[in-house]
Amino acid sequence: MENILNPNSPVFILLFAWSLLWKGIALWRAAKLDQRNWFIVLLVINTAGILEILYLFRFAKKRFTIEELRFWEKTSK
């Protein structure tokens, strides 16, 4: 367990990248949809992407779709 918490471990780096990706998408969506309270919560609370995914697919005014996720994947290449 101590190795996982080391900032240089591959698991830590992957978890950080995973969380950063979902946080960025969720914050962008909350700002775009003018959901200030969600933006603040998502900015302050770190849940390794779990809260961000729940927000995007369940609680956002306009829910995130798999097609949008595929679009993001295509444009990032």
pLDDT in tens, 28-51: 999 999 999 999 999 888 888 888
Collapsing DSSP to helix, strand or coil, 77 comes out as coil
Nearest-angstrom CA–CA distance, 69 and 77: 13
Look at the chain and report how many structural domains it folds into: 1
Q: Is the pLDDT of residue 71 over 80?
A: no
User: What range defines the domain where residue 12 resides?
Assistant: 2-75
pTM: predicted TM-score of the whole model, two decimal places:
0.71
What is the reported pLDDT for 77? 60
What is the reported pLDDT for 1? 55
